[in-house]
Structure formats: structure tokens, C-alpha cells
Amino acid sequence: IYWADGFVFVYSITDYESFRVLRPLHQHIRRIHPNANIPLLLMANKGDLLRARQVSSKEGLQLATELGGTYSEVSARENCEGVHEAFQQLCQELSRSSSSCNGEKRRGLHLVRPKSPNMQDLKRRLKQALTSKGK
């Protein structure tokens, strides 16, 4: 959450609770990034289970508009193309927002992304730990 360039909120149309938690999650992100314009994709999954629907498309679209994001209703089970298109749309938004920054970092983000662990260093430390136990 601290260093993300974009967010994907996924909920199940068959589980109202998964939808309900999105607004507080967005509020948490807004507290961390009060002035940032971070792209958001709201993705309603399980579009193939219409008989079990608990969240209407209208509610999903309304929340996406309220949060300033885009809305997609998909079925990851039946059509992965919809998922792919939604992520592609988010990536295009990310590309537009990063090109508008002219190579500068977004303001307001004070935390550096964590570095990936060095695998060689991890192996060395693991060997040291194993050999010290044997002694």
C-alpha cells in the first residue's frame, strides 16, 4: 500500500461482505496517500454466478465512480480475457500517469520500495546457520 503505483480491488458478486470492505480499504489508502492520484480498478468477479448475485452491477459501478476508479465485471472461471483486459486497462492508466510525471517520482510518497533479498546472501547466511548448529 505504501509504494504501489496502482490498485486493484476485487470482490465477489456473490459475497456482499467482500464488497463492503472496499470503501474502508480505500479510506485507508487515502490516509496514506492523501494527495496522490493513484489509478484504481474495481473488479467484480464471479460474473458467471448470476443466480447467487448479492451485489448489483449498479452498486459496483456506483462505488467505482465514488472512488475515482474504473469498473469491470468478470468471470475468472469462464473468461480470463475479461480479467486480462481489465488489467491491461489499469496498466495503460499507469503508463499515462507515469508519463505525465516526466520521470519524477510522485510527491507524497516518502517510503522507499523494499529491496528484494539477495539470494546469494540468503544462501550464505543459511549455510552459516547450518554449520554453526553442527559445531
Please state whether the predicted TM-score (pTM) of the whole model is above 0.75: no
- Rounded to the nearest angstrom, the gap between the alpha carbon of residue 55 and the centroid of all alpha carbons in its chain is 20
Measured torsion, CA atoms of residues 86, 98, 2, 85, in degrees rounded to the nearest 10: 10
Structural domains of the chain sorted by starting position, each given as residue range(s) with its CATH number in brackets: 5-99 (3.40.50.300)
Q: Beta partners for 73?
A: 44
Residue pointed to by grid coordinates 476485487: 10
pLDDT (tens digit per residue) in 19-72:
999 999 999 999 998 888 889 999 999 999 999 999 999 999 999 999 999 999
